[in-house]
Amino acid sequence: MTPHRSIAAVFAVHGAVSGSLATRLPWLQDRLDLSPGVLGLVLLCPSVGAFAGMPMASRLAYRVGSRVATRLLLALWCSLLLLPALAPALPPLLAVMLLYGATAGMCDVVMNAHGVTVERHLRRPIISGLHGMWCVGSLLAGGVGVLAAQARVDARLHLGAVSLALLLVGLYAGRGLLADAPADRQGSPPRRFALPGRAIAAIGLVGFCGTFAEGASANWAAVYLTKVAHAGPGVAAASYTLFMLCMAVTRLAGDRLVARFGPVPVVRCGGALAVTGGVLVVLARTPALGVTGFALLGVGTATIVPLVFAAAGDAGPTPGEGVAGVATITYLSGLTAPAVTGWTAGALSYPAAFALITGVALLMALTAGALRPKPAAVAAEPAVAVPTGS
């Protein structure tokens, strides 16, 4: 298996783990008798864990190598998939979800950094396609989970079987990852925690906007269509699937677009589509117009995170440090987007909330110049260290 196919399979497995657990959350809620508010707290834990773990990922990759770190963290995350279903009560579940999120976030950083390295090796864009494979893995695993739920298969049996299968696939795919170059582990080790420099912060702003619009749309599409556009339950639920399909197809085509036009025009065009979709959502009072708007938001935001990670990998002192800095910013956006959207909808209205999201998409398009590739001769700006006592 070539390095490109191997890292693509790693992304697909990562997405499949996420998609598998998402489909069994109702089972988990019923088993532990969790209220909606408590379930929200449970779902916050993975993001908190990822936010805490991501800054340490590049240091781990330096110690053991990007290839080994990717294989180890992916294997650990696949193994953790079963644990939430085995949690006997709320406190152990919260602890498991924190560990689950920290492992997921660290794996996210090292596999994206490895993807940047493979992209450099191939000398052509591949990052958008890798994230497209993540969407494909998530959708396929989600489909299996839906079938298992409809057949009333116990989630412990379902997730245990999926965990083992994905672990084996991940271990096999990891064998073909690109070997680390000796130069990758020369010099001083990366800082455990670092504030991003100006170049990374500018790239992170684009990522923050893209992730905000993406996360808010994915989490609130079904509710918006039900409350504002008067859609039925089936149409409202299908809107999320359509949103993810649009993202997957766009990401799979994104590498060709970037190779032909460059990252900045692609992000600006995506921003224009996202703004158009946001306007349609704000104006939507029928399901068709709302679904069209959310589909355009999916297309418009699809390539943002991959291109931000690729740009950060090139701009940072090392690919791992650059990706870690931007990933922390994008996860912060993912933490805040659903809550800010809900607060705005509660204080004003649902259309007002998506007017805010439309403005964020516009800012994403206006700041896209931060992703312009830098000349090879220009040295990356160092990060600003945060004292940790080590």
Identify the residue with better confidence: 375 or 319. 319
Domain ranges of the chain: 3-179, 197-373
Average pLDDT of the residues in 183-205: 67
- How far is 16 from 23, CA to CA, in rounded Å? 11
Position of tokens 């600006």? 268
**Residue for token pair 């064998």:** 175
Q: How far apart are CA 176 and CA 178, in angstroms?
A: 6
pLDDT at 279: 97
The b/e string for 114-139 (b: 16+ C-beta within 10 A; e otherwise) is bbbbbbeeeeebbbbbbbbbbbbbbb
Most confident of 43-47, 143-147, 202-206, 318-322: 202-206
- If pLDDT is split at 50, 70 and 90, which confidence band does 185 have? low
Question: 228-253 pLDDT, tens per residue?
Answer: 988 887 777 677 778 888 988 999 99
* End-to-end Cα spacing for the chain: 40
234 beta partners: none
DSSP assignment, residue 54?
G
* Measured CA angle at 111 (ends 254, 213), to 5 deg: 50
Question: CA 57 to CA 71: how far, in whole Å?
Answer: 13
- Tokens 């909606």 correspond to 36
What's the pLDDT at 184?
54
What is the spatial distance between Cα 250 and Cα 348, in angstroms, rounded to a whole number?
A: 33
Q: Which two tokens stand for residue 153?
A: 């298969």
| Mean pLDDT along residues 29-42 | 81
> What residue has token string 């990060």?
383
The DSSP line for 242-295 is: HHHHHHHHHHHHHHHHHHHH-HHHHHHHHHHHHHHHHHHHHH--SHHHHHHHHH
Q: Do domains 3-179 and 197-373 have the same CATH topology?
A: yes
Candidates 1.20.80.10, 1.10.1740.10, 1.20.1250.20, 3.40.50.11710; CATH matching 197-373: 1.20.1250.20
Mean pLDDT on 166-171: 95
Angle between helices 90-122 and 57-64 (to 10 degrees): 60
- The candidate with the shortest Cα–Cα distance to 119, out of 310, 263, 260, is 310
pLDDT score, position 221: 85
Tokens of 274: 């996202």
Q: What digits encode the pLDDT tens for the residues 332-348?
A: 887 778 778 888 888 89
Give the residue among 148, 139, 137 at the shortest CA–CA distance from 170: 137
Rg (CA), the chain: 20
According to CATH, what is the number of the domain 3-179? 1.20.1250.20
- Residue 183: count other Cβ atoms within 10 Å of its Cβ: 7
Q: How many CB atoms lie within 10 A of CB 27?
A: 20
CA 15 from centre of chain: 9
**Mean pLDDT score of the chain:** 84
User: How many C-beta neighbours within 10 Å does residue 81 have?
Assistant: 23
Average pLDDT over residues 263-287: 94
Cα 132 to Cα 247: distance, rounded to the nearest angstrom: 7
pLDDT score of 51: 81
The model's pTM: 0.78
- Under the banding of pLDDT at 50, 70 and 90, the label for residue 150 is confident
Do residues 92 and 274 touch, judged by C-beta distance below 8 A? no
Q: Is the pLDDT of residue 178 over 70?
A: yes
Per-residue model confidence (pLDDT) at position 280: 96
pLDDT grade, residue 182 (50/70/90)? low
- Which of 301, 309, 337 has the alpha carbon at shortest distance from 325? 309
Spatial CA neighbour of 113 closest among 320, 292, 374, 306: 320
Strand partners, 320: none
Residues 95-138 pLDDT 10s: 999 999 899 989 988 998 898 889 888 888 888 889 899 989 98
